[in-house]
Amino acid sequence: MWAGQDYLSLRTLCQKKGELFVDSLFPEDISDPGVEWKRPAEFCSNPTFIENGASTTDICQGDLGDCWLLSAITSLTLYPSLFSRVVPNDQSFSPSDGYCGIFHFKLWHFGEWLDVVIDDRLPMKNGRLVYTKSDTREELWSALLEKAYAKVRGSYSALQGGTIPEALEDFTGGIAETVSLWRHTPEEVWDMISQSESRKSLMACYIQASEPQDTGRVNEDGLVLGHAYSVIGAKEVTQASGEATLVRLRNPWGFTEYTGPWSDKSLEWEAVSEKEQIAWNLQREDGEFWMLCEDFCSLFSMIVTCRVNLDSSHCIATHLHGRWESGVSAGGGRRLRSFFTNPQFRILVGGASDEEVEPGTTEERWTVLVELMQTDGRTDKLHIACHLYKVPKEQVSRPRLDRGFFTRSRPVCDTGDPQNSRGVTMRACVAPGDYVIVPSTYDPNQEGNFYIRVFCER
């Protein structure tokens, strides 16, 4: 419902007619009788698109439960080159710049960047924006970006449900991986965050609520259960007892902060100079705070990292579209005898396969990152999984591997139990050679379209 609109053509047409753009493909979709749809000039005296460059405090969550989306947008503001691709900066509310009520944003969609066009009517109630807003009333890029994303999802209410990896990928075209923090030591997590920051990967995290009724409750540490946060920094600070590794987080609400060690008003900061405290941004209640990496690992459930620029010279990348067809190529899960009928895609990792390693040398290893995504946009998503197998030298010439191979062989790596999510990922460290990727659904004869991305890096 949102594709096929040409921003420049629509903008030119509105300017010629002297009319403000009204998006017929995304009408007012909120049934609350107290909500009014207004253009920015109707509720603030000097509306601006972006004020003095985008920052993390430009995003404050409103009445919509889309912290997963806003945590991703916050992370996006940290990298100007990524941000300017999603949020074109040649847009303005000034009549001298040709303002006519139309804006556009770029979102990644299964291998291509698409232009999403919207008008600037926003939902208001009791004189305030209902949903996302900036910390200054006049700045509106974040509210408009949220509206563009709502259009892609079908409605504002559709933003009540979503995942951090989806949003991070849609804003970057990168691959997002979710890591359970309890599986790793604080040292491993610190290395992961530091490496991700140096690679300019976007990061966000989530704190699980043990019971559904606890979602939204603020615990004794000032953290919101069942809530997504942005990971926006990592630093080491020197103290008398040695180096402390700190992680900086942001609550998309724009308020309600962590109250434990190294929080904004904690005693630990007394050993740090006032100049450094200012540099570390400890001045006000803005939803941002620092915490020890050890505490981060014990209090949060998972972290999501989204690596971007995977098409650089350091990686070998490929992608493809496919389909599961009933009775033809929808063989179901790995435990089924029909599994071999699923689509099979061959990849050659590291050049010539099965080359012998000379004595005394280290075997060459490659990191293979694979993502499988279902592309139908259905609400009742299929349970999907993806598997990577090493192809024996004697079977490389065969166009397809048979039932016997999959009965005898175990995958080098897989995405785990089938999940009813938009996408699943797997990462493997493998030797050079021939491999086969097999995407599957949980049950046989389930039809659907899919998209696979593969990245290899030595």
Active site residues: 67, 227, 251
Nearest to 173 by CA among 111, 115, 104, 117: 111
Cβ partners under 8 Å of residue 232, min gap 6? 56, 74, 75, 78, 203, 248, 249, 250, 288
Residue tagged 């014990």 (tokens):
298
What type of residue is 353? S
- The beta strand positions in 149-276, using DSSP E, are 175-180, 202-207, 227-239, 242-250
SS3 of residue 81 by DSSP: helix
Which phi-psi region, left, alpha or beta, contains residue 222 (left: φ > 0; alpha: ψ -120 to 50)? left
**What is the C-alpha separation between 430 and 42, in angstroms, rounded?**
59
Q: What are phi and psi for residue 196, nearest 5 degrees? A: -65, -40
Alpha helix positions (H), 227-322: 274-279, 293-299
Q: What are phi and psi for residue 75, nearest 5 degrees? A: -60, -35
How many other C-beta atoms lie within 10 A of the C-beta of residue 425? 17
Print burial letters for 196-232: b (CB count within 10 Å at least 16), e (below 16). bbeeebbbbbbbebeeeeeeeeeeeeebbbbbbbbbb
Residue 59 near residue 140 (C-beta atoms within 8 A): no
Nearest to 301 by CA among 377, 375, 232, 224: 224
Q: What are phi and psi for residue 246, nearest 5 degrees? A: -115, 145
How far, CA to CA in Å, does 421 sit from each of 149, 211, 445? 18, 22, 18
Tokens for 233, please give them.
Answer: 């920094």
